Structure 1
Amino acid sequence: MRDLRTLHNHVNGAFVDAVDGRTLDIVDPTTGQVYATSPLSGAADVDAAMAAAADAFPHWRDATPSTRQKLLLRIADAIEARADELVDAECRDTGKPRGLTLSEEIGPMADQVRFFAGAARLLEGRSAGEYADGMTSIIRREPIGVCAQVAPWNYPMMTAVWKFAPALAAGNTVVLKPSDTTPASTVLLADIVGGVLADMGLPAGVLNVICGDRETGRLMVEHPTPAMAAITGSVRAGIQVAQSAAGDVKRVHLELGGKAPVLVFEDADIAEAARVISTAGFFNAGQDCTAATRVLVHESIHAPFVEALTKAAAGARTGGVDEADVCYGPLNNADQLAQVSGYIERLPAHATVETGGHRVGEAGYFYAATVVTGLRQHDEIIQNEVFGPVITVQRFSDEDQAVEYANDVRFALASSVWTKDHARAMRMSRRLDFGCVWINTHAPLLAEMPHGGFKQSGYGKDLSAYGFEDYTRIKHVMTAL
């Protein structure tokens, strides 16, 4: 008999199993072996979580902004206090290097929660005024209601924060589902938030976490209780959520895939560009919708840039959670390993694998840092999101061709421009059809700045005041004088 860890849903302040007892196996991606089980939540579990959130909503909606702020500030403190537990849970589910996860995720998570704690007290609107004779108009900004949220497996605990923190700050209550492969850290976050809610005498149903698969997510989105559905995931998942939410006209917030172009012009610092792009492309095994994985380089510096990038990639080591000098861990699951491998196996004859292009080891889902050159604009690997440690390199001849290639994909989340020419950087930032344009850097995210894209990368913003406003609704109140 297997000796496995057992995870639970967290509903109305209590750990509970799925009503029908069904479970999912959770696999350690560093070994490929099952190490835990989590509930496979069905309709009855979704009903219970939605009922808890709906019951808690009137109290939480009417809580003062200062109360919401206090809750979030205490949650941020608790995240830092229990950092080691959160990192242990995150790394077991994802295989991420422990040191990087502690340094790169816990601090930003706590900072993001504190940002939204401040936002809770800054619900701005247009001032009252008289726009018709004998009438005064007022604009109210209000919480939406119960929010159904679905988080992905690449950054489970950080995206959970991106989801629940602005929603709670605005006065909403939440039912959150983590990915079926990475539930552990989100369940622990629910326990942390639940403890703070209890200490403050607030309703336990303000935040509920239920585990499950795609069907669980579908049941959440189609449930009549939520007023809003928010997902970070694939384009396919986003389309399904939008279609399901259309049945009763729910509001939808979608943060989907990416295929970030990285434009390297002839005056760029080649060594620095190669170093940063390698880091931004291979971090988290390239499992990042903003990853620097599609490089467009001016033909005059193509050869030296490829040489520098290939050297940097060859030094980007993958390995286990506690191994030294590891840049990134494994891919998340067997299906993802097969997807990344498939893109390399199907490369056209005109492509060249400069380094990598193979699995590492026989256990787990490790894949070598890979650089591919010689590609053409409409090759499969250029047009589709690989979501793995693979960087492609294409040539361009001038600004117009660079922009044409950059925009000629269905994704529009993030991009970067590498040049010493300020005017060129400004031209590119205007012409690039992406929600974020970095200049001479790639990947920094800030709590104060919005994260979100266009086209099939979705709509709505995470982080920033814009992300906060996405979880509010606008009401006009008019009174006769």
Structure 2
Amino acid sequence: MDPHGEDRAAAIEVADRLGAGAQFIAGRARPGTSGREHAVVDPATGEAVHRFTLASPADVDLAVDAARAALPQWAGATPAERSEAMHRFAATLADRARDLALAESLQCGKPLRLSTGFDVPGTVDNTAFFAGAARHLQGQAAAEYSGDHTSYVRREPVGVVGSIAPWNYPLQMAAWKVLPAIAAGNTIVLKPAELTPLTSLMFAAAATDAGLPPGVVNVVTGSGREAGEHLVGHPGVAMTSFTGSTAVGRRVAEVALRTVKRLHLELGGKAPFVVFDDADLTAAAHGAVAGALINTGQDCTAATRAYVQRPLYDDFVAAVAELFGRVTVGDPFDPATDLGPLVSTAQAERVAGFVDRARSCATVVTGGKRPPGSAPAGAYYQPTLVTGAPQDSEITQGEIFGPVLVVLPFDDDDEGLRLANDTPYGLAASAWTRDVFRAGRATREISAGCVWINDHIPIISEMPHGGFRASGFGKDMSAYSMEEYTQVKHVMYDNTAVAKKDWHRTIFAD
């Protein structure tokens, strides 16, 4: 057994407990009916650690039927009743934190240190937040705007929500999809990525075990083309929420449009990291390394384009290169590991392709290859620093989704902010400066859904997450996300008890 085999063996045992039931419908696990077997592969070793049968469209239909059947009871529950159930849900997740972290690291390859310290506690906190938010669905205060009527606003559930979550943060993204939807009284069918379904299934089971009615949270694990498109286009689904690439998001929008669904899209990103010449160089270099390499760079808000004002440029490149060299790449279950493998060999090859194609127009300062001594089957790739790439090059503009940071210089503030916005995306960004006026200008002028000052990556349950432009629309987390999953109804009462209203003269001449 390898030196960290005990944790890996424990993680495989957690996965084995799921059995072959990669679908969770109406409160219980069941196998898919497509007849096509799929495997969850440990990206650190290339070994299959869990096998299951993919969902068919019939499984999706069954899950939607279960969600529709559960909707009247759940939507009709009081906010306090939903809140109480979700508080129990948070407690159940906390009790299962170790198993969730093990399964997340097994299927994703992310260091157990990250799963234990970020993914799982963040999900528990998010669940507790929405347990409280369930009691704060408010409309506009009642008033007599016309003089003769009393008006007020109701916020009501949309209905059955069909959500598709990505493979980079399977547990947290499942939570971001499910929690605001059910807190607002909706029911949900979630399709996780086939690569990483384990923690989504565990999340749904925890909801049922905590006392949420069967059918409130359902999971179908199938291919995007078959199960995903069927879910998005299903006439019984009132809303689609999708997190993933911009290219797939366009396809989701096309399919959803056929049934005129409400749509929430959290798509790709190419976050700029703008370092002004008065910035704390040490803080900026450490922030760039952490922001670029978190989750092996498989993060749509990762720092991927650093623009550094010329007086600091050379020192910044040198500092980042030195820090990259200190990052430990290794087994996700080794406590010393900073950077695990990418999610799959295909993703590692994709990242390598970006870097290899860039060599003709840019300089690979450090990295740019598999680490020495890495497991032959493991999807490892070194932290990679690239300089000299043109602003319009593929490596500067494309979403790489790997441990790659491109650094470019700029001269004045106008140029730095212009370059930061020179991308189709607008999900996240950061600016590094000691000058409060520069900071304020950056927050106003950078076009992104989140702008950090002197930090990059932190998120919190109370604040919204979502993008502009090609990064999509709508918000995850925070009370703002509740607006995505509710529909506003205007209710108007006549106060006059008069049969013939004044406005009736537009119809009745006398």
Q: TM range, normalised to the smaller chain? A: over 0.9
Post-superposition shift, 1:348? Answer: 4.5
Post-superposition shift, 1:133? Answer: 3.5
* Aligned positions of 1:76-475 closer than 5 A: 76-197=90-211, 202-214=212-224, 215-360=226-371, 361=374, 362-475=376-489
SS at match of 2:490: strand
Q: 1:64-91 CA distances to partner (integer Å, 9 max, x unpaired)?
A: 0011111111111111100111111111
Greater alpha carbon shift after TM alignment, 415-424 vs 272-281: 272-281
User: What amino acid does structure 2 have at the position aligned with 1:29?
Assistant: P
Q: 1:173-215 CA distances to partner (integer Å, 9 max, x unpaired)?
A: 0000111100011111111111112xxxx53000001111112
Post-superposition shift, 1:453? Answer: 0.5
SS at match of 2:335: coil
State how far apart, in whole Å, the 2-side matches of 1:38 and 1:480 are.
59
Structure 1 counterpart of 2:61 = 47
**Aligned pair 1:17/2:27, yes or no?**
no
User: What amino acid does structure 1 have at the position aligned with 2:219?
Assistant: V
Q: 1:79-120 CA distances to partner (integer Å, 9 max, x unpaired)?
A: 110011111111110111112211112221111111111111
Q: 1:381-401 CA distances to partner (integer Å, 9 max, x unpaired)?
A: 111100000000000001111
User: What amino acid does structure 1 have at the position aligned with 2:102?
Assistant: D
State how far apart, in whole Å, the 2-side matches of 1:404 and 1:98 are.
39
SS at match of 2:210: helix
Post-superposition shift, 1:38? Answer: 2.5
SS at match of 1:248: coil
State how far apart, in whole Å, the 1-side matches of 2:262 and 2:121 are.
31
User: What amino acid does structure 2 have at the position aligned with 1:426?
Assistant: G
Greater alpha carbon shift after TM alignment, 419-428 vs 20-29: 20-29
Post-superposition shift, 1:334? Answer: 2.0
Post-superposition shift, 1:413? Answer: 0.3
Post-superposition shift, 1:316? Answer: 1.4
Post-superposition shift, 1:19? Answer: 2.5
**Deviant stretches of 4+, over 3 Å:** 3-7
Greater alpha carbon shift after TM alignment, 129-138 vs 470-479: 129-138
State how far apart, in whole Å, the 1-side matches of 2:437 and 2:193 are.
43
Percent identity (aligned): 44
Q: Which runs of 5+ in 2 are unaligned?
A: 1-12, 496-510
Post-superposition shift, 1:262? Answer: 0.3
Q: 1:414-461 CA distances to partner (integer Å, 9 max, x unpaired)?
A: 000000000011011101011111000001001011100001100000
User: What amino acid does structure 2 have at the position aligned with 1:351?
Assistant: A
User: What amino acid does structure 2 have at the position aligned with 1:269?
Assistant: D
Post-superposition shift, 1:20? Answer: 4.0
Post-superposition shift, 1:142? Answer: 0.5
User: What amino acid does structure 2 have at the position aligned with 1:55?
Assistant: A
Post-superposition shift, 1:318? Answer: 1.6
Verify the 8 A CA contact 1:38 1:183 in the aligned structure 2. Answer: no
SS at match of 2:479: helix
Q: 1:138-181 CA distances to partner (integer Å, 9 max, x unpaired)?
A: 10001100000111000000111111111110000000011110
State how far apart, in whole Å, the 1-side matches of 2:33 and 2:360 are.
53
User: What amino acid does structure 2 have at the position aligned with 1:321?
Assistant: P
SS at match of 2:401: coil
SS at match of 1:411: coil
SS at match of 1:453: coil
Post-superposition shift, 1:478? Answer: 0.8
TM-score calculated relative to the size of structure 1: 0.97
State how far apart, in whole Å, the 2-side matches of 1:203 and 1:270 are.
53
TM-score calculated relative to the size of structure 2: 0.91
Q: 2:77 aligns with which of 63, 82, 100?
A: 63
Verify the 8 A CA contact 2:113 2:335 in the aligned structure 1. Answer: no
Greater alpha carbon shift after TM alignment, 253-262 vs 333-342: 333-342
Q: Mark the CA change 1:20 to 1:354 in structure 2 (over 3 Å): closer, same or farther.
A: closer
SS at match of 2:274: strand
User: What amino acid does structure 2 have at the position aligned with 1:105?
Assistant: D
Greater alpha carbon shift after TM alignment, 33-42 vs 265-274: 33-42
Looking at CA atoms only, which structure, 1 or 2, has the larger radius of gyration?
A: 2
Verify the 8 A CA contact 1:356 1:369 in the aligned structure 2. Answer: yes
Q: 1:304-348 CA distances to partner (integer Å, 9 max, x unpaired)?
A: 110001111111122112223211211111221111000011015
Question: What count of residue pairs does the alignment treat as equivalent?
Answer: 475
SS at match of 1:261: strand
Greater alpha carbon shift after TM alignment, 26-35 vs 407-416: 26-35
